[in-house]
Structures are given as structure tokens and as C-alpha cells.
Amino acid sequence: MAAPAMESLAVTALRSVMLRVQQATERSGRNADQIRVVAVSKTKPVSLIRQVYDAGHRCFGENYVQELVEKAPQLPDDIEWRFIGRLQSNKVKMLLSKSGVEPSGCVELAKHVKLGCPNLEFSGLMTIGMLDYSSTPENFETLSNCRIEVCKALGIAEEQCELSMGMSGDFEQAIEMGSTNVRIGSTIFGPREYPKKQAN
């Protein structure tokens, strides 16, 4: 009898992440279907993404347009791709900033998107906590407060404004602080390797 195929590291890691997400979700008093887990596959090969897809995951995130347009056609089309990078097109010149604003500018930016950009749909706010995690709770609290202000200014319910916060090192904390969307890369796919010259 053949031994069962060994599960790939990425699939094992995915299952562990999903369990941790579920537990954090329960601690936050919400349901697992209220949290989206974006598997961030930037720099990772299609074969590895395919393993995670075959394990049942459907939502993947990429940071670079070029990578996304190369990989997406090689993978099943029921994948929900999320672009989480900075927009580089000149077409976003009208935005106050293409890579984010200070918290004090969030209301103005959200209003501009909602009222002044007919081809954009305002769906929520995203942050990346400090990379050394020194002020993660403050960063997440700041984004939550931004949501309160933005929703008040736009006259929308808080459920209509997503909070995208939480990555490999802090996703459980983010969920406990109200995140609706976590973006998890290296904990699922392993550490990323960048070509030496790239500063990223």
C-alpha cells in the first residue's frame, strides 16, 4: 500500500495559520467567516501557490502588478486575487497619495475616493504595523480610530469599512483588535528571497 503523500510545508503552515486565525477570531467574539485570510504569495512560484490552492485556499495577494499578470493566467481562475501593493500608475495622480497617508489625512482621502473617484469603490483602510512590532497595538488602535472617523464622515456603517491589518508576526493581535482582513505571507510560504540589488 502506498504511503499517503507527505503534505507540503506550505500546506501544513496554512492549516496552522487557519487554526490560529480561528482561535483569535473566537477570542474576539466574531465568526471565522468575518475574517478574510489573504495568502501573500509575492516572489513565490506558481507551483507553491498551487499547493496551497489545492489544499482549499482561494484568496491570494500580490504586491507587484507584473508578478500578478504573470502568475494569474497559470493558475485556476476561481482564485480571488488581491492587489496589496502600491499603485504605480500615473492614473492615481488625483489621489492625495498613492502609498498611504498619515492618520490625520484618512478622512480627506476616504472622502476623495468615495465622492471624487467614480471608478473607485471605497472599501476600507489598511495599515502595516511598525516592522519591529514595537508599537503594534498603537498602530492597530490608530487604524480602528481612523475607521470610526471615516465612517462618521462618509455616513456609512463600520461594517462597510474593512480594516486590513495584521501580517505574519501580528495577525492574531490584529484580529483581536478588530481586523477583518489579514495578509499572511512568510508564515505560510516561508521566508522570501529577493534578488540582491532590490532594496525591498
Ligand X SMILES: *Cc1c(COP(=O)(O)O)cnc(C)c1O
Q: Which residues bind ligand X (CB under 6 A)?
A: 40, 42, 63, 84, 128, 167-168, 183-187
Residue 95 C-beta: closest distance to ligand X, Å: 17
Q: Whole-number minimum distance, CB 74 to ligand X, in Å? A: 21
Distances (CA, A) of 80 to 3, 83, 193: 33, 10, 24
Supply the DSSP symbol for 105. G
SS3 (DSSP) at 170 = coil
- The nearer residue to ligand X, 154 or 162, going by C-beta atoms, is 162
Cβ 17 to ligand X shortest distance, Å: 10
Residue 49 near residue 72 (C-beta atoms within 8 A): no
Of 150, 142, 160, 164, residue with least CA distance to 111: 150
Query: Quick one: 32 or 128, whose CB is closer to ligand X?
Result: 128
CB nearer to ligand X: pick between 147 and 183: 183
Q: Of 46 and 84, which has the nearer Cβ to ligand X?
A: 84
- For every residue of 10-41, which 3-state class applies, written as one string? HHHHHHHHHHHHHHHHHHCCCCHHHCEEEEEC
For ligand X, the nearest residue by Cβ is: 185
CB of 31 to ligand X, least distance (A): 23
Cα–Cα distance for residue pair 46/13, rounded to 1 Å: 17
